[in-house]
Structure 1
Amino acid sequence: MAEILSHIKLNMDEGLLKKLCDYQETFWLNPDYGKNSLSTSEVNKETVFRANRLLERFAPYLETVFPETKVSKGIIESPIQEIQNIKEYLSIPGRVLIKRDDLMPVSGSIKSRGGIYEVLVFAEKLAAQNGFNPDTDDYRDLAQDRFKKIFGQWKIEVASTGNLGLSVGLMASTLGFKARVHMSHDATQWKINKLRQNGVEVVIYNDNFSNSVTMARAASEKDDHSYFVDDEGSKILFAGYATAGERVKQQISDLGIEVSKEKPLVVYLPAGVGGSPSGVAFGLKIQFGDSVLPIFVEPTHMPSVLLGMASGLNHDISVYDVGIDGKTAADGLAVGRPSLIAGKYMRNKLFGIATVSDEHMFAFQGMLKKLENIEAEPSAVVGIRGLLASQKIKTIPSQATHMIWSTGGSMVPRATMDQYERNALNYFARWQA
């Protein structure tokens, strides 16, 4: 602990640290943004290209087992729509879009791409070891009992605050794997219920997310037939998230939107452990280069990626180390220690990070419902805070296109969503006043 505090004192801006510890909303401009191009043999353009092709190979299977994907022919992706009312209400120049990952098929969140992809990578490997030829065989055959018996010999495990657990658990159980999701004490009850209803074992730890991951990883390592999806450091998971870039580029083109350095695409991504927004940002950078400006948004009580990147300690520091309490209603973002790879891969690719109070998060949820009739989880709307903060950044051109990334909400039970919205509309009314 003494080493961490000493490092912070020498390497982190004192004023920024005070704002974080006082739970003040702030915006951090990444001083390393754009300095050098990222070069890594672990995840690169070719890695992400292969990830997209694997998902295309599995599309016939996914269309078979998840009828809701028939309209997209088995491709799991979400729509983009304009939110003109919010643009006008907030007086934002340029176009304002929302990426509706709350409508993602199968598990209804940004985690769908990465979680489903990693399970499919492992399933394809096992199938190939047992007579399946990926080059010639029909992927719909993987729904047959003979493959379910093979998959059933293995357990797929993951630690999650909720949405990653849903994507991994639902995909694994559909293929025939045993599935176990390890969750921290702040996990939402309806997500726990949803998993158990689909035959997924759920283990609850009376601890924070970071410690829950450590315990879950240790439990998996004791089982020779357990495969652990590691939200803190999986390169496969990261590549799955990055597949969003290729799809978004096509969607932006279909909308007739020009993206250039003079007219950049500014994207606002909610961040918890940082893996999924980092993967998405990485994929967008592959497609748009310097013409996309990724911005993360975190709760004021859980600014883990900001603290990690601004201090240079990345995964080696937790918000709890500096006295931040980690208390937030944004369950999907309730992660005190950032990913092992988020800071490393985003060092020169992340434009900045904004923080948002829970009160404003609820107000933005009410704003989205009131003005656009869009329902989302509280943590999925924090991108609006990034949108507002970016208007004060002089280096962002007025001709920019802005895209809020909504990360979850369609699977929330109706009674829970009604309760969310009553609360959110009250906060929005106060915010307007």
Structure 2
Amino acid sequence: MGNKCVVLAVLAITGIACKNEKPESIIPQEDVAIVEAPKEVLEFGFNLNDYIVKRDTIKNGDSFGKILERNNIGYPKIFHIAEKAKDTFNIRKLQVGKPYALMYSKDSKDSIKIPESFIYQPTKEDYVVINFKDSIHAYKSSKPITYVEKTISGIITSSISETLDEKGVSPVLTNKLADNIYAWTIDFNRLQKGDRFKVIYTDKYIDDSIYGGVHDVKAVLFEHKNEPFYAFRFQTDSLKGIIDYFNEEAKNLRRAFLKAPVEFARISSRYNLNRRIALYGYSVRAHKGTDFAAPIGTPIRATANGTVTESRRKGGNGNYVKIRHNATYETQYLHMQKRKVKVGDFVKQGDVIGWIGMTGNTSGPHVCYRFWKNGRQVDPFKQKLPEAKPISDSLKLKFLEHIKPIKYQLDNILYEPEIPENQYPEQPVIRQSTT
């Protein structure tokens, strides 16, 4: 009883004390806005957040001087900029249609905005920067490039181009398979329904976001008429950078010559010793070349490895290049808009040596492809062309070891879904993955 009284007394005193205490004042909390710094947007080595960026493309009649003059820079300074930059970049080489950018500082208090830098992009990945804010300096650089390996498989229902196109795959891949890798092994105009393929290839991305196209094809398995045709990419000459495709037994798949010097072109006129030509009043004049028609500016490729023996402009030939491939064969490429190679250059099969034009005697844009055998012009389509150089014995073992893991990877790519024999879908089935 006594203990209870003590406890009650303590509780009573405590309660009174609590009632008499003034409650602490509650200070309202203010919401504090946390402002994050803007994320850097990097391009051409600049943080674009710090600049006003004016983008455009080179138009007909544009020049470096006219572009800067339109943007409040006077000719004395323009001349000074051009002189300082000429050792890095020739400002006369601006090409119509190519993009450029002018960079203006956001910190400038001037009422008339004057650019501080001019950036020109001759290709998707390469660019030239000319700075002229304080001191003038120019430099060339390239955007970062990422290569992504991908795999794709498909079943032919009509053509390989339609099979790949319906899934948004670059037509460049079709061309590499048909015109480069299997040009002499499989006739892609005679594919059968149910033929199928697996490809390991690499796509190129510029700045991690801009698609730069198919970079190369690592390996292919093409099943045509139920027969497997393997192709593996392998470098046979590191000094000259020569790359070929070989099957699983190390046999070279290609011939020494490409079938055509231009991709995606049509033959507009064949080799014909009795042809009548409108340009010469329909008189009989031997046409000792094969004409491949394509738009002006289309790249022209060397059809085989060799050394440039002529590169000049002459009469009806216009701009042309001639290449000696060995003691037997030479090729010649006429009517170029512009030549890219000079006498003495070594070129590899597929290298760009110039661009389609209309120089010399021609009624339309094309390249006249001439083929020489033992000093005499012949029809390349009627020649039994030699196979490409076989792989050396010293490299064969290295090649066979190199392809082991690649072949395993290729063989384990599935056709999704796996189709029972003789049962094929109406639409092509394609599997694409990124690694």
Task: Provide the TM-score with structure 2 as the length reference.
Answer: 0.23
The structure with the largest strand share of the pair is: 2
Structure with the greater relative contact order (CA < 8 A, sep ≥ 6): 1 or 2? 1
The structure number with the bigger radius of gyration is 2
The structure with the largest helix share of the pair is: 1
